[in-house]
Amino acid sequence: MWFWWDRIWLPVNLTWADLEDRDGRVYAKASHLYVTVPYAFAFLLIRYLFERWIATPLAFSVGIKQKINLKAEDNPILEAYYTTQYRKPSQADIDGLSKKSSLSVRQVERWFRRRRSQDRPGVLKKFREASWRFVFYLFAFIGGTTALYDKEWFYDTQEVWMGFPKQSMLESQYWYYILELSFYGSLLFSVAFDVKRKDFQEQIIHHLATLVLLSFSWCVNYIRIGTLVMLVHDASDVLLESAKLFNYAKWEKTCQTLFVLFAIVFMVTRLIIFPFWLIHCTWVYPVHHYPAFFGYYFFNVMLVVLLCLHIFWAYLILCMIRKFMIGSVSMLRSNRLSFILVSTSSMDIKYLLGNAITQLTLF
């Protein structure tokens, strides 16, 4: 099949046959990724149990309760418009719907307000979702650090390419990749019943792009640099998810402190370590070992695109902190901050800094 042509993905004079297991060496293979599908569904089951038996009691213990919204009365005409047209009809449409449904204008307006309120996720649901992501990112970061701290390429990025691509896969690398891929696969499967945010389409694109990038690096044995990239991104995700949890619990000072820590870690990991260590590692060092090829350019372009997103998100974070420090800020609706850490995952912070952040539209 032309897609797997050696000249596209591998350096010159190397073929896929060179990456067959032999002499005690074990290499990553595309067929290994099949297991991520059942693992993704396993993650969904674990998440369900976690949210039901751990996150929900925890939410109740900090005073978060299930909010019960008034249900809109059954009305096929208004429901059809709501689901197929607009959630917020114009005044002209309201007048037309009033005539069709034999309701007064005020009754139609009240129906749409209640219907929108029904779809608005409660704090309890957001807390459960943030709890699940926090636990995963925390364990992923700890596990990634444990798997990498004693490796030469963790301290010297030139070691990433020593012997490439004939680098035997370690068991710790296998599980780090498989679990990350399975987790993002579960996020893709769960978008249908997760909190619906205004970045719904972008969430799907992000999850797909993450899966493609991780799968590509796995198949061409870019595993060493892939694990470093994952670790750098997991570092700040932990702090943001924890800030959201304290925000939902209305621990504003703790939330603000964690957000500032998140901003610092984000700047260091994604604007310093990521470009000046990791992208430098993938752009400069490989050509010392072999001529550039398509896979080399493809991977580096994907990383540069990711860096551009980091720069944009960092600018928005700095704007928020600046307004917070000068005191001219207002409250922020949670789903407007959803793009700050799209890395990795989808965000939804309600009043993230309480009275400290202005309303933003991101991405």
* One-character DSSP codes across 158-186: GGGGTTTT--PPPHHHHHHHHHHHHHHHH
Examine the pLDDT at 339 and tell me if it is beyond 80: no
Angstrom distance (rounded) from CA 235 to CA 222: 21
Q: How confident is the model at residue 179 (pLDDT cuts 50, 70, 90)?
A: very high
The residue among 325 and 52 whose pLDDT is bigger is: 52
Helices (H) and strands (E) in the chain, counts: 14, 0
Domain 76-119 has CATH 3.50.50.60: no
Q: How confident is the model at residue 356 (pLDDT cuts 50, 70, 90)?
A: very low
**Residue range 264-282: mean pLDDT, rounded:** 94
Q: How confident is the model at residue 59 (pLDDT cuts 50, 70, 90)?
A: very high
Contact by Cβ (8 Å): 309, 276? no
The residue among 2 and 111 whose pLDDT is bigger is: 111
Kindly report which listed range (35-49, 111-125, 298-312) carries the lowest average pLDDT score: 111-125
Examine the pLDDT at 345 and tell me if it is beyond 60: no
**For residue 69, what are the CA distances in angstroms to 72, 74, 75, 116?**
9, 15, 17, 10
Q: In the beta sheet, which residues pair with residue 25?
A: 22
> Is the preceding peptide bond at 165 cis, omega within 30 degrees of 0?
yes
Q: Tell which residue, 190, 246, 201, 247, has the closest CA to residue 51.
A: 190
Angstrom distance (rounded) from CA 186 to CA 130: 15
Q: Tell which residue, 332, 153, 326, 184, has the closest CA to residue 247.
A: 332
Packing angle of the helix pair 91-101, 105-119 (nearest 10 deg) = 100
Instruction: Specify the pLDDT at position 178.
Output: 95
Q: How confident is the model at residue 344 (pLDDT cuts 50, 70, 90)?
A: very low
Examine the pLDDT at 340 and tell me if it is beyond 80: no
The per-residue pLDDT for range 212-265, each reduced to its tens digit, is: 888 889 988 899 999 999 999 899 989 989 998 998 998 888 988 898 899 999
The residue among 351 and 195 whose pLDDT is bigger is: 195
DSSP state, residue 21: -
Angstrom distance (rounded) from CA 71 to CA 115: 7
Instruction: Specify the pLDDT at position 208.
Output: 78
Kindly report which listed range (30-44, 171-185, 189-203) carries the lowest average pLDDT score: 189-203
DSSP state, residue 293: -
Kindly report the backbone phi and psi dihedral angles of residue 58, in degrees, each rounded to the nearest multiple of 5, phi listed first. -65, -40
**H-run or E-run covering 130:** helix 123-148
For the record, the structure tokens of 351 come out as: 């009043």
Kindly report the backbone phi and psi dihedral angles of residue 15, in degrees, each rounded to the nearest multiple of 5, phi listed first. -130, 170
Instruction: Specify the pLDDT at position 1.
Output: 59
pTM recorded for the entire structure: 0.79
**H-run or E-run covering 304:** helix 294-326
Q: What are the residue ranges spanned by the domains of the chain?
A: 76-119, 123-332
**For residue 348, what are the CA distances in angstroms to 154, 198, 334, 340?**
32, 10, 5, 10
Kindly report which listed range (53-62, 72-81, 97-106, 146-155) carries the lowest average pLDDT score: 72-81
Q: In the beta sheet, which residues pair with residue 22?
A: 25
Angstrom distance (rounded) from CA 330 to CA 332: 7
Kindly report the backbone phi and psi dihedral angles of residue 86, in degrees, each rounded to the nearest multiple of 5, phi listed first. -135, 150
Instruction: Specify the pLDDT at position 42.
Output: 97
Instruction: Specify the pLDDT at position 166.
Output: 82
CA atoms within 13 A on the CB side of 296: 21
**For residue 31, what are the CA distances in angstroms to 41, 215, 293?**
18, 11, 24
